[in-house]
Amino acid sequence: MRTSVVAHPAGSGLPARPWAGRLTQPVAVQGTFDELGTPLREVTFVVVDLETTGGSPLSCAITEIGAVKVRGGVVLGEFQTLVNPGEPIPAFIAVLTGITDSMVTTAPRVGAVLPAFAEFCAGSVLVAHNAPFDVGFLRAAFAAHGRAWPAYPVVDTARLARRALTRDEAPSCRLATLAALFASSTTPNHRALDDARATVDVLHGLLERLGPLGVQSLDELTTFSARVSAAQRRKRYLAERLPHAPGVYVFKDGYNRVLYVGKSKDIRSRVRTYFTASETRRRMGEMVRLAAVVTPVVCATPLEAEVRELRLIAEHKPRYNRRSRFPERATWLKLTIEAYPRLSMVALVRDDGAAYLGPFGSRRTAEQAMTALHEGFRVRQCNQRLSVTRPTPACALAEMGRCNAPCDGTESVDAYAQHVAAVREAMSQDADRLVRAITRRVDALVARERFEEAALHRDRVAAFLHAAARMQRIHGLTSIDELVAARPADRGGWEIHVVRSGRLVAAGTSPVGAHPGAAIAALVATAESVLDARPGPLPAAEAEEVECVLRWLEAPGVRLVESSSPWTCPIRGAGAQRSWITGGQLARAAADPFRDRRGLRPSA
């Protein structure tokens, strides 16, 4: 039985499609092979094996190619040829394979063999035992002779065996061991055709093992993992009615609570991987066990899918999504409005005329940026509110020469205002003065071999520059009331987006071969209106959404169609100091070259 799903869940944030709807009654529909994927019985496999003069395609050459073409368990043809490597065959290789220099003297060179081999493999799936070895040599040979690699789908029988067999069944996954396990009619002997024939029997034996586990199609075979539990595999039916289209997918439990939100260029193929692929994240396995339904949200463009995902995560805060759940928890750096302004970390942006920098993902990063500003400019670091008429005693920072003591009247309001103006300028349009000041300090510390302190200053200014560059880019887009842009779609036509105050308010495509003007006019006319704009650099959308739109606008091929005002960015802004930003990131990574970056977790 097939039941339709809601095209756009509540809270997706963009106008509903006029064609979206819900069928209230289930409709019985005969399943199609497209819904099931390509059945394995209809897949043509070419099982290939190579003999070479060594182990590296950069320094060694092919001496023999053997291949067997099979479909549905029936052998359709075989391909075998010796290849002249153009170099002597090492003695131990000759002993191992039985292929000598005299045997390949009259054999064709690999450049003459490749056209016939490519024709033999056309439209097939390549299979090899330890496929990276054989495919690596083939790719190198194609490249060396100026031929484009056909990018065949590849199945590795050694990899499948490691996932499908236990150590009791197969102590090793060598071809000879597996051929004996599956009673192959051909014994591997390090000759290409015989080894390919043995690999055919191993492939068929593995497919018999994987069939009861639910592996019935090519997609399921190429994404198979034994670490996916049987309970997860039994829920494959959740993906069977999903569309092959770009968009967002929403996992829900039996109480209609949102568990997880993701996006993909192909919703159905991506969701299937949660049940058959190497999805080893423990939280995802737990999520799939709780899932009762998967709701798709078909989108016109990949950008629309990315934005919808962010909005749904922010609205529902699914327990199994780790990122983007709490955009409201971001930290901002505020330059206050008072007689003697100061820098303060706040959680909200208010319409109070103050200057704001952010949002920061963590309080620690905001503290680094604030410290960089304190080191570059003589703004006070105390928290109390100062009065012009009632001086207060100066703190220790004044005695240390790190503050001009406006609190006790040593520095006037006008003189102090110059420091505040410099901070405001660094935050909004020109960071050169701050960078020069920090550079002098870093150079002095390095000259005295105080490298740790120099690194602290470098990290602080890098944190400030990263945040300032981000905010300046965002403000350049959010200050435009309406912007329309288009990019050629992959399958023809145009992807069209309407952006208002940094918020994506409409997305669509124009038909192939038609002028996009009508589609643009329709999208602009029906686009979402931006009401109740918030104060600050993010009037209508969160920072992540604006950055998604910016990445798309800056991608190759995008054309600006209309803009209500110029799209600009400060020429001497923080973005011009990109070397500081990237330099700090690279230096931190190089400081700990052996840090464990695998992120592995123990699993049963």
Q: Do 273 and 148 belong to one domain?
A: no
Question: Three-state SS across 30-50?
Answer: CCCHHHHCCEHHHCEEEEEEE
Q: Counting beta carbons within 10 angstroms of the beta carbon of residue 330, is it exposed (0 to 12), middle (13 to 18) or buried (19 or more)?
A: buried
Q: Please, which residues have CB within 8 angstroms of residue 237's CB and are 6 or more apart in sequence?
A: none
Domain boundary among 470, 488, 510: 470
pLDDT digits (tens, 9 = 90+) for 35-50: 446 788 889 999 999 9
Q: Where are the alpha helices (DSSP H) in 21-167?
A: 33-36, 91-97, 101-104, 110-121, 131-144, 157-164
Q: Do 254 and 353 belong to one domain?
A: no
Positions of the chain with pLDDT under 50? 1-36, 593-594, 596-604
> Would residue 25 count as lying in a domain?
no
What integer best gives the mean pLDDT of the chain?
Answer: 83
Q: Do 196 and 98 belong to one domain?
A: yes
Q: Do 194 and 232 belong to one domain?
A: no
> Would residue 595 count as lying in a domain?
no
In eight-state DSSP terms, residue 217 is B
Write down the catalytic residue from 8, 129, 145, 190: 190
- Owning domain of residue 525: 480-563
> Would residue 244 count as lying in a domain?
yes
Q: Counting beta carbons within 10 angstroms of the beta carbon of residue 397, is it exposed (0 to 12), middle (13 to 18) or buried (19 or more)?
A: middle
* pLDDT on residue 408: 74
> Would residue 583 count as lying in a domain?
no
Q: Are strands 125-128 and 154-156 parallel, antiparallel or unpaired?
A: parallel
Q: Counting beta carbons within 10 angstroms of the beta carbon of residue 67, is it exposed (0 to 12), middle (13 to 18) or buried (19 or more)?
A: buried
* pLDDT on residue 600: 39
* pLDDT on residue 16: 40
* pLDDT on residue 37: 60
Domain boundary among 316, 343, 359: 316
Q: Do 418 and 499 belong to one domain?
A: no
Q: Do 257 and 208 belong to one domain?
A: no
Q: Do 437 and 499 belong to one domain?
A: no
Q: Do 71 and 144 belong to one domain?
A: yes
* pLDDT on residue 5: 31
Q: Which residue has the tokens 């509903």?
A: 16
CB 220 within 8 A of CB 276: yes
What's the rounded Cα separation, in Å, for the pair 43 and 218? 7
pLDDT digits (tens, 9 = 90+) for 287-337: 888 899 999 999 999 999 999 999 999 999 999 988 888 888 889 999 998
| Torsion sign, CA atoms 445, 451, 457, 461 | positive
Q: Do 408 and 512 belong to one domain?
A: no
Q: Please, which residues have CB within 8 angstroms of residue 583's CB and are 6 or more apart in sequence?
A: 458, 462
> Would residue 407 count as lying in a domain?
yes
Q: Do 74 and 188 belong to one domain?
A: yes
What's the rounded Cα separation, in Å, for the pair 186 and 206? 16
Q: Do 49 and 185 belong to one domain?
A: yes
Q: Do 198 and 95 belong to one domain?
A: yes
* pLDDT on residue 28: 36
In eight-state DSSP terms, residue 249 is E
CB 123 within 8 A of CB 192: no
* pLDDT on residue 586: 56
> Would residue 572 count as lying in a domain?
no
CB 53 within 8 A of CB 85: yes
CATH number at 243 reads 3.40.1440.10
* pLDDT on residue 14: 42
pLDDT digits (tens, 9 = 90+) for 422-453: 999 989 888 888 888 888 888 898 898 888 88
* pLDDT on residue 432: 86
Domain boundary among 170, 190, 215: 215
Query: What is the domain count for the chain?
Result: 4
What's the rounded Cα separation, in Å, for the pair 237 and 463? 47
> Would residue 528 count as lying in a domain?
yes
Q: Which residue has the tokens 């006029």?
A: 18
> Would residue 596 count as lying in a domain?
no
Active site residue 190: yes
Q: Which of 231, 282, 260, 302 is nearest to 497 (CA)?
A: 302
Q: Are strands 125-128 and 44-52 parallel, antiparallel or unpaired?
A: parallel
Q: Which of 196, 195, 223 is nearest to 210 (CA)?
A: 223
Alpha carbon of residue 531 to chain centroid: 32
**β partners of residue 252:** 258, 293
Question: Angle CA(434)–CA(435)–CA(439) in degrees, nearest 5?
Answer: 120
